Amino acid sequence: MADKKRVANLKLQAAKCRQNVLRMVRAGGHGHVGGALSSLDIVTALYFDKMNVDPENPKMEDRDRFLLSAGHKCLAQYAVLAEKGFFDKEVLDTYGKLAAKIPGHPDMHKLPGVEANTGALGHGMSIANGMAMAGKLDGKDYKVYAITGDGELPEGSNWEAAVAAAKFGLDNLVVFVDNNGLQISGDVTKVMDMRPIDEKFKAFGWAVKYIDGNDMNQILDALDSIPEEKGKPTMILCDTVKAKGLSFGENKAGFHFWNATEELLDQAEKEMAELVSKLEKEKEELV
Amino acid sequence: MIGELMDPRKTFGKAVTEIAKENKDVVVFSADSGKSSGFGDFIDQFPERYFECGIMEQGAVGMAAGMATAGKIPVFCAIAPFVTCRPYEMVRNDMGYMKQNVKLVGRNCGITYSDLGVTHQSLDDFGLMRLIPGMTILAPQDPVEIEEACKAMIEYEGPVYMRIGNPKIPVLFERKPFVIGKGDIIQDGEDVTIITTGSCTKDVIEANEILKEAGIKAKIIGLPTVLPLDEDLIRDAAAETKKVVTVEEHYINGGMGSMVTELLSDMDGVTVKRLGIPNIYATTSSNYQELLAYYDLDAKGIAKSVKAYLGK
Ligand SMILES: Cc1ncc(C[n+]2csc(CCOP(=O)(O)OP(=O)(O)O)c2C)c(N)n1
Ligand SMILES: [Mg+2]
């Protein structure tokens, strides 16, 4: 079990990052909140607890790498990068505006901390492989982390990357599958059932862990034991809740992309502010 | 009714669903893209002819081509780059080289996904598709033309790529049968020929009002088919006006403007000004109109460019 203080702090950071997501939705009026909020706890744990990154020096040679294969989850990455200090939070207020540094899919040439230009699904795993292969070639010990969606998995390119990652022994690579059960057309298992996802990756030569991806304890436990097996890439299959933290949107396919109404956005901001105060108190009580 | 605003995706999905009532060979492929392509009714009415593949565009094109070898008429619609750029080799080999009767439809074309950025904008689809021998490219300009284009595309035997937008568009013209390969003279004039296609036509018609005020008489040609190009119509117009402007929501390189320029390159005294998006990774805005204006592709921008080209 991860240390209580460590967990309490991360939960608080995640709630603050969720506030950042709402701030961008406030600015742009909409956004791919569903997949951003389901994966946000993982992204928070990585940046605030695990990854060797320096907001002052985002291109630091030995940094750990993070990328979203499901680029539409970018609100999560923008929120965390802002909270971590990679850029001014005012940038969050430009979401949806002309020539924003934070467009609807991430652009590495616009925003410090972004490592790849994703948005077309099924690219991230191969790019992550390449980063991990370069690390091995140069004898560096940085790690590469990537997140894919569950709806994204039928793209054949993912499986090209999966077999190659095993062949090249990329135990410096960790891929999270954000298993929120939903995609645009609804239930992932009805659209194209990829189960058993864990068994498939195992058969492709990966070490696999299966966790609740919205539970900070489980996320930290999984991250603390990487590489799961020496010589093998690690896949962490994360059961998550789409639109996690939006009381009215959780587990609803309609919140894949949210065209926000004033009323619901007000409500979400209020609920998230309450959660932040509650988590601040909990954190103080532990000190 | 002229002027009525209609949703291009819903119009398209409904039109195909109507045709499928009569034509039992029509099948629909989806890559997590069916409902958002207007196929809600089709799914309810013809579940056995609806193939949801999940997010696997390359597989969907291959399967569609395979089905076509057995006489089916597959229609596969998704966000434009994901039916063109992503599965390009399947389109070229399995649809093009194999001459299969598959209908690909790219929606949210051009920069209509204005804030989703480069991965979701489609500014190269005319260019990619025109290089496939035997391909037909349609770009209907209003909702009624989308309906008629669907009929024509399914009646025609061979690979077709059709491109439609996303925001509601007004009905511009009276209904008439869609003839693949034929353009129309929307307005006659002698100072300049403006050739437009797809989503740009509405803005060109608006731009024309500004040009009229400036005393410019434009001949306006609408191209609901981009390939095969209506060569006679375009050459005749160019011979008359000498000056030609092309307007498309596409890169100025490689698309309709390039095709027109290549066609007219042997004509003495004819010059072509291509309007579109320069060959860059376009920027973003959640406001599509703002982005069109940024690239001078709204009515004002088009009028400004035409005037500058004519030195007025
Ligand atoms: C190649 C490609 N095809 C289609 C899309 C359109 N698209 C964006 S998100 C999405 C659904 C993704 O579902 P999932 O991977 O489950 O993401 P999440 O639930 O985490 O939002 C689709 C079809 C795309 N971005 N890229
Ligand atoms: Mg999902």
- Cα(A238)–Cα(A228) distance, rounded to whole angstroms? 15
Distance (Å) from CA A37 to ligand 2 centroid: 11
Instruction: Give the gyration radius of chain B's Cα atoms.
Output: 19
For a pLDDT cut of 70, what percent of chain A falls above it?
100
Rounded-to-integer distance, Cα B129 and Cα A6, Å: 54
The total domain count for chain B is 2
Supply the pLDDT for residue B172. Answer: 98
Domain-located, residue B179: no
Query: Which ipTM did the prediction report?
Result: 0.96
Closest-CA residue to B104 (of B131, B121, B82, B133): B82
Q: Reply yes or no on whether the pLDDT at A142 is more than 80.
A: yes
Domain final position from B170, B194, B220 = B170
Q: Is B187 on the interface with A (CB under 8 A)?
A: no
Does residue B250 sit in the same domain as residue B197? yes
Q: Please give the structure tokens belonging to residue B258.
A: 């390039």
Residue A262 DSSP class? H
What is the average per-residue pLDDT within A149-168? 98
Q: How many CB pairs under 8 A join A and B?
A: 95
pLDDT bin (cut points 50, 70, 90) of residue A287 is confident
State chain A's mean pLDDT as an integer: 97
Domain-located, residue B178: no
pLDDT at A97: 98
CA distance A158 to B154: 34
- Which of the listed residues B146, B170, B194 is the one where a domain comes to its end? B170
Amino acid at A285: E
Residue A2 pLDDT > 90, yes or no?
A: no
Q: B4-53, pLDDT tens digit by residue? A: 999 999 999 999 999 999 999 999 999 999 999 999 999 999 999 999 99
Domain coverage including residue B263: 184-309
Co-location of B159 and B31 in the same domain:
yes
**B178-189 confidence digits (pLDDT tens):** 999 999 999 999
pTM passes above 0.90: yes
Q: Does the CB of B43 have a partner CB in chain A at under 8 Å?
A: no
Residue A156 contacts B where some CB pair is shorter than 8 Å:
yes
Q: Does residue B138 sit in the same domain as residue B242?
A: no
- Report how far residue B159's alpha carbon sits from residue B96's, in angstroms, rounded to the nearest whole number: 6
Which residue from B199, B139, B195 is spatially nearest to B169, judged by alpha carbons?
B199
Are B85 and B156 part of one and the same domain? Answer: yes
**Per-residue model confidence (pLDDT) at position A236:** 98
Q: What is the pLDDT of residues B156-176, one digit of tens each?
A: 999 999 999 999 999 999 999
Residue A137 structural domain: 4-285
B49 with B88, same domain: the answer is yes
- Strands B5-6 and B169-170 turn out to be antiparallel
Closest CA to B226 of B154, B132, B293: B132
| Average pLDDT value for residue range B132-141 | 98
Residue A226's CATH number: 3.40.50.970
Q: What is the CATH number of the domain that holds B265?
A: 3.40.50.920
pLDDT in tens, A177-204: 999 999 999 999 999 999 999 999 999 9
Q: Which of B43, B50, B55, B292 should one mutate to test binding to chain A, selecting the residue with the greatest count of A CBs within 10 A?
A: B55
Instruction: Calculate ∠ Cα A94-A61-A234, nearest 5°.
Output: 85
In a domain, B11, yes or no: yes
Q: Are residues B217 and B298 in the same domain?
A: yes
Count other C-beta atoms under 10 Å from residue A89's C-beta: 12
